[in-house]
Amino acid sequence: MVRMIPRMYRKKKWRIIVLWILSSLFMFGGSMIAGQLQRTVGTNDTGFLIALILSLIFFLTASLLWISIALALREVEED
């Protein structure tokens, strides 16, 4: 694993690092939205469902980015 990182920089695989950062931002955003979901007096059902669906989309996007990172790292490791 440690040998792989300098080889990534030599091959200009900066996209992998960008995907790591982007997936962590999506996960952070999804957890922030999901952590604040509450059915209180001031919220209506539509706003609650929109926030729920948006946080689910953020979580799914982050997991898809993690899968693509794993595939890209496997290709780099095989080279």
* Residues 55, 71: Cα–Cα separation, whole Å: 25
Helix, strand, or coil (residue 79): coil
Q: Can you list the pairs that 70-73 forms with residues at least 24 positions away whose Cβ atoms lie under 8 Å?
A: 72/13, 72/15, 72/16, 72/19, 73/4, 73/16
Instruction: Give me the pLDDT at residue 40, please.
Output: 85
pLDDT at residue 1 tops 90? no
Residue with the larger pLDDT of the pair 68 and 4: 68
Tokens 């509450």 label which residue? 38
pLDDT digits (tens, 9 = 90+) for 13-44: 778 888 899 999 999 999 999 999 888 888 89
Give yes or no for a contact between 1 and 64, defined as CB atoms under 8 angstroms apart. Answer: no
Between CA 24 and CA 31, with CA 28 as vertex, the angle to 5 degrees is: 135
| Banded model confidence at residue 4, pLDDT cuts 50, 70, 90 | low
